[in-house]
Structure 1
Amino acid sequence: MPFEFEIPGVAAEILAARTAEALDPILTKLTRSASALGAPTVRGHKLFVKDLDDTIPHIARVLRLDDRDGEKSNDNVCVIATQLYGVGGHSKVVADITRLIGGEKVSLILTDLYGNIAYRRLIGEDMEARGYHCRALLALKAPSVLDRTIELHRLLCAIKPTRIFLLQHHMDVCAVTATYPFRDITEFVHHADHLPCLGATVGYSAHVDLTYTCHPICAAAGLNPIYSGMTLPGLSAVQGAEKSDGPLVFGTCGNLGKYRQEGRASRYRWIDWVIPALRTPNSKFIHIGPTDAAFEQDIRQGLADAGIDPERYVFAGLTPSLQTALIDHQVDVYISSYPEGGGRATLEALAAGVPAVAPSEAEMGPLVQYSSPLSGWALVYDPAQMPAAIADAESRRDAMRSAAYRATVQIELNRFEQYVAGRPLGPAPAPQS
């Protein structure tokens, strides 16, 4: 199978295990294997782990997780993830699903494989204020991966969901195995679009691609995927702020680990893309999202070494809405995080009428090359290409503020809403640039 990644011997070990006791250490090892996915030959190049997906029915049988029939509807929904983040596309997708379904119909369950959630910290927590609309947030607390798998299955048996949205981390065997008996009402929401992910080839009731980059690959693999795209709160294709006489403003947003290239082998540093942008006369850079003192100092030092005033790179902190922040800061050109750009963040920029430039590396594989049915974005593979890409982006701005462009954005945003509502979707539109 093209784009398949194999972890030697693990599938055979699982199939040879005939008891829960024998499975226990293997499932723990599988969960911890996620660190191997960052290898340069894997990240951006591999998408499926079919040999491991094929073991899921065996694991379910050994654990005696009985199949559960059901008719799919939005009457009683479960959204299952591993954990959620303050910044991150899949967390926002979870929030969008819960918002569109309505909190009175949604249970949000986290497998919490890394033990980051303490119920005492949730006392008095207003989940709706954080964007999550649900009757309750549940975090699994059994002592092992195997026990959590059984715990999740029993929770689902008690809740009796009529539809399950699955958005787990790459090697969360707990989430995939526990939902397999509910496969007739479970939908695999493919958000891990540049790394191998358990569940992508499991026979769930639907395979749903959030991003355009991986969609044709999943289609070629015979998974009959749905392209849902993503949406934004309010479904508003917002017209950006009027161009002022002030400086040309660049903006970026993303998880800090991306800018540091944590677990990612890359040719350039983030500062290597910032410097040619800020060599544009009368320009400044707005960094939206979490940072820390060490990162900020690295940026300032890098700019100073290049002879650029560090004060032209502004750290704006976290924001509840990137789209609103881009407009408030009068951002003219969005520069996506590197080496992996956030698909959701780029969508928010395009929807705000802000053209996007996506730094990338061809060698990093096809799965990290941004693609979209919306126009207004460009890939660059070398910092030397930044001046031309910025000039091209500026030339697109008027067209992206037109009624015709906003109507196209609205159609793209509506796909996700129609998907969550359970309405049939038409074919995925053709890619643009």
Structure 2
Amino acid sequence: MTPVDEWFQLGLEQHRAGGLEQAESMYQQVLQHDPQHAEALHLLGVVASQRSQFDHAQVLIGRAVALRPDVASYHASLANAFSGAGALDAATLHYDQALQLQPDFAEAHNSLGKVKLAQGQIAAAVACFRGATASRPEYWQAHHALGTALMQLGEFDAAITAYQAAITLNPAAPNLYSELNAVLAAAGREFDAVDVYLGAIAAETASADETRKQAAGRQPLSAGAEAAERGEAGTWFSTVEAFAAELDRRKLDGDVEGALGLVQRIVRTCVFDRRGTAKVFADATLDRCCSQLGKARLTALQAAGDVVEEARVDCVVLATEVYRLGGHTAVIEDLLKTQCFGPRVVLMLTDAFNMADLSVIADRFGMAVESEVAPKGSLVPKLDWALNRLRALRPRRLVLMNHHNDAVTIAAAQPSLADETIFYHHGDHQLCLGVTLEHTVHVDPHPMGFHNCRDVVGVRNAVYWPFIAEDAGGRTAATWMRDGTLRTSSTGSSNKFESPYKIQYADVIPQVLACTGGVHVHIGPLSESTLSRIRGALIALAIPPQRFVHIPWVRSVWKALQALQIDVLIASFPQGGGKALIEAMGSGTPVIGHDCYISPFLGGADLYYPGAFQWARTEELLEHLRGLTPAQLQRESDDARRQYEQFHTVEALSLAINGAPDAPVVPSLRPHRVDPLQTFLDDVRYAQQDYAMHMQLIR
């Protein structure tokens, strides 16, 4: 894939995800290198239309049409731009051309129908909408539009049929019910209209409830359970003993659902509170509660009857859910690459928050695993499902990859259900369920986590399985500082850069560019406020804006750093990124880390190669950058690659999993000094924000 193709693909993916600014940037980069790239012109025009910049959209899409007059979608997009600007005759012309090229183009039929409706040509609009529904029967918006047009013609029975078809296809859209109610009333069917009106209220309420459930990351509790989660006057628990007593009460009452829900709520409240980060890692009371609840459910299930045992599996990976990009999903893939878990691996998802996207499993894992997902609904049925499936599969190894607050996974991890249970501690700088389980092999993927869990938390069964990245090759014939200036980069998601912290990324990077005179490439999403802040600082410092390059996403950080000829990676701060750092070192890219004053967990200093520079104050970073030379960059490139080869290859992970004598030894921790006074000042500075967040969480 050429750079132009990759830029275009990145733009397309960002466009589909709703990132208009990022998509626009990628399409513009494509056109800088290939001004005749018709699809980039077309989609850049679509972005303009989405921003209501219709005149600009007409110019861009018009150029695409001139280059490729045979593409129906170009004509349809140009028609959309004309329609948005109120030029309905021109819009009609291009919708007609789109349909001549592609007669089953449902969206063009539907859009042309809207234009006809706006022109008062209702019968013609009905014909267009019928064309849309015939071309794509599942197109609920076209059925909706057809119902609207038929009602205007007074054809109530046909309009009712159209609305009912739209509701069948999209039962969660409340406005469809209210509009159907109006048609039924106009047709003299008042009693039917009342039923539909009540249905509209129910659908709207259900839609809002689902939104709340997704935002909360848990199933809703009853009003009584909600109140019982807090102390008097709506305050949260003031002591560990208080929530332990509440958990005991629920267990004694047989309220397993309420107890599991409360455990998840407690963990979530801590995880999303800034004050708990890198301070609260584990709690034996919560883990013990989950285990006891799971044991009680397992006993009840065994008493109810045996399950049908299936062919025994080598390994079950029990996870909450999986994602398309990065995170613990990539870790599962890495573990499977070692081929240490046997030929038959089953991926079971508890779907504890009812948000799992089942298509991700096939996209990420293909035929490498069998997969099963818990039923949608409340927590106890999910737990029963997990326990019964583990009883049936009888795995030799059970690997736990739970989200921080997934109580179902921890409750299901009963010692009798697998020969060996492995807890993979990936949620390691925040409170996470499962850390203190005594019957598991406790896996930490980096030195900070291993030493913290063994020496601070008191985990006696900790082992080190290092983070890895598949080897894509080191640098060959590297040329450093090609134009006499440094080309720097940072990579990671926005949460790694935008947390409340004394030193802000948006303030540092303009100073870096002023210091180096070079280019800084940011790989990963950033909020619009951060991007605006960076651009404003560049203007103030008279730095050309093109020296800051924002690439929202790449398929491989490793290959991107090499292709962009990055001289040095300035690691994310205040929160470091483990996977990105491993890829950088593997690619032979020198790295600069940040010594975070809150905790060594956040900076990730102990993952770096020996001799990698760390800065605590911005002045230290700038001074180091001024002193870098091509010779030093080459030495650090070699050091980075050696660190990768020693600790972070598939082979190194395989040796660690198998407990081989030559497995990587856990690196010692670097000296680190926290700054309690600055941490206290942060707590004071963000107190109001922290309080607001906490109250939102407990409510």
Q: In which range does the TM-score fall when normalised by the shorter chain?
A: 0.7 to 0.9
Q: Is the 8 A contact 2:444 2:463 kept in 1?
A: yes
- The reply to whether residue 27 of structure 1 matches residue 264 of structure 2 is no
Q: Which of the residues 390, 399, 415 maps onto 2:652?
A: 415
The answer to whether the Cα contact below 8 Å between 2:315 and 2:396 also exists between their aligned partners in 1 is yes
Residue 553 (structure 2) aligns with: 318
Is 1:253 aligned with 2:491?
A: yes
> Does structure 1 residue 154 correspond to structure 2 residue 392?
no
The answer to whether the aligner puts 1:176 opposite 2:410 as a matched pair is yes
Q: Letter of the aligned partner of 2:479 in structure 1? A: K
CA deviation after TM superposition for structure 1 residue 37, in Å? 2.5
Contact 2:322-2:357 at 8 Å conserved across structures: no
CA distance in 2, matches of 1:207, 1:133: 28
Alignment-mate amino acid for residue 612 of structure 2: W
Please tell me whether the aligned partners of residues 82 and 172 of structure 1 are also in contact (alpha carbons under 8 angstroms). Answer: yes
Q: Does 2:272 correspond to 1:11?
A: no
Report if the CA contact (8 A) 1:24-1:145 is conserved.
Answer: yes
Task: Give the counterpart of 1:107 among 316, 327, 346.
Answer: 346
Q: Is the Cα contact below 8 Å between 2:264 and 2:406 reproduced in 1?
A: yes
Letter in 2 for 1:230: F
Indicate the RMSD between aligned Cα atoms, in angstroms. Answer: 3.2
1:79 aligned partner? 317
The answer to whether the 8 A contact 1:78-1:161 is kept is yes
Deviation of the 1:423 alpha carbon:
4.2
Closer, same or farther: CA 299–21 of 1 in aligned 2, 3 Å: farther
CA distance in structure 1 between the aligned counterparts of 2:632 and 2:401, rounded to whole angstroms: 35
Deviation of residue 202 (structure 1)?
0.3
Identity of aligned residues (%): 22
For the 8 Å contact 2:524–2:553, the answer to whether it is kept is yes
Give the Å deviation of 1:201. Answer: 1.0
1:226 aligns with 463
Q: 1:191 aligns with which of 398, 417, 426?
A: 426
d(CA) in 2 for partners of 1:319, 1:241: 23
Normalising by the residue count of structure 2, what TM-score does the alignment of the two structures yield?
Answer: 0.54
Match of 2:474 among 238, 246, 250: 238
Equivalent positions of 1:293-372 (< 5 A) are 295-362=530-597, 364-370=598-604, 371-372=606-607
CA distance 1:291–1:368, shift in 2 (3 Å): closer
Alignment partners' CA distance in 2, 1:306 and 1:376: 32
C-alpha offsets along residues 355-393 of structure 1, whole Å, 9 cap, x if unaligned? Answer: 22223531x234324212632533322222221343566
Shift of 1:172: 1.1
Q: Please give the alpha-carbon distance, in whole angstroms, between the structure 2 residues aligned to 1:139 and 1:173.
A: 16
Distance apart, 1:13 and its partner CA: 2.6
CA distance in 1, matches of 2:498, 2:367: 32
- Structure 1: segments with no counterpart, 5+ residues: 68-73
Aligned residue for 1:9, secondary structure, equals helix
- Matching residue of 1:283: 518
Contact 1:95 1:133 survives alignment (8 Å): no
In 2: Cα distance, 1:52 partner to 1:43 partner? 18
- Which whole-Å deviations, capped at 9, do the CAs of 1:255-308 have from their partners, x for residues lacking one? 2232332xxx32232212212221223311112233465654443334334443
Aligned-partner Cα distance in 2 for 1:296–1:360:
24
* Mapped contact 2:443–2:464 kept (Cα < 8 A): yes
The equivalent residue for 1:44 is 278
SS in 1 for 2:424: strand
Change (3 A) 1:110 1:64: closer
Does structure 2 retain, via aligned residues, the 8 Å contact 1:81–1:111? Answer: yes
SS at match of 2:487: strand
Q: CA deviation at 1:75?
A: 6.2
What CA deviation, in whole Å up to 9, does each residue of 1:132-163 have, x standing for no partner? 66333433233112322222222222333221
Classify the secondary structure of the residue corresponding to 1:315: strand
Q: Distance in 2 between matches of 1:6 and 1:239?
A: 54
Shift of the alpha carbon at 1:43? 0.6
More strand per residue: 1
Q: 136-145 vs 99-108, which deviates more?
A: 99-108
Q: Quote how far apart the aligned CAs of 1:421 are.
A: 4.8
Relative contact order (C-alpha < 8 Å, sep 6+): which is higher? 1
Cα deviation, residue 346, structure 1: 1.2
Separation of aligned partners in 2, 1:59 and 1:141: 19
Query: Structure 1 residues 112, 313: CA separation in 2 closer, same or farther (over 3 Å shift)?
Result: farther
Q: Structure 1 pair 431/290, CA: closer, same or farther in 2 (3 Å)?
A: same
CA shift in 2, pair 1:38/1:6, >3 Å: farther
Contact kept, 8 Å, 2:421 with 2:440, in 1: the verdict is yes
Asked if structure 1 preserves the Cα contact closer than 8 Å seen for 2:518 and 2:547, the reply is yes
State the distance in 2 between where 1:346 and 1:226 align. Answer: 21
Classify 1:418/1:75 alpha carbon distance in 2 versus 1 (closer, same or farther; 3 Å): farther
Q: Distance in 2 between matches of 1:78 and 1:389?
A: 48
- Aligned partners of 1:20 and 1:63 also within 8 Å: no
- Which amino acid in the other structure matches residue 13 of structure 1? E
Amino acid across the alignment from 1:250:
T
Rounded Cα–Cα distance in structure 2 between residues aligned with 1:154 and 1:48 = 28
The answer to whether the Cα contact below 8 Å between 2:320 and 2:402 also exists between their aligned partners in 1 is yes
Secondary structure of the corresponding residue to residue 202 of structure 1:
coil
Distance 2:239 2:567 in 1: 43
Secondary structure in 1 matching 2:522:
strand
Structure 2 gaps of 5+ residues are: 1-237, 303-311, 672-699
**In 2, Cα distance between the equivalents of 1:412 and 1:310?**
39
For 1:45, the aligned partner's letter is K
Contact 1:369/1:379 (<8 A) preserved: no
Partner of 2:248, secondary structure, is helix
Match of 1:273 in 2: 508
Partner deviation per Cα, 1:308-344 (whole Å, 9 max, x = no partner): 3322121223222211111111111112222211112
Provide closer, same or farther for how the CA distance between residues 157 and 299 of structure 1 changes in structure 2, counting only shifts above 3 A: farther
Q: Distance in 2 between matches of 1:303 and 1:213?
A: 36
Corresponding residue of 1:90: 328
Q: Which amino acid aligns with 1:110?
A: L
SS in 1 for 2:646: helix
Pick the structure with greater CA Rg: 2
- SS for the counterpart of 2:614 is strand
CA contact (8 A) 2:488 2:567 kept: yes
Indicate the larger mover: 172-181 or 25-34.
Answer: 25-34
Query: Residue 87 of structure 1 contacts residue 255 of structure 1 at CA under 8 Å; is this kept in 2?
Result: no
Count of residues in Structure 1 that have an aligned counterpart in Structure 2: 413
Q: 1:271 to 1:60 in 2, by over 3 A?
A: same
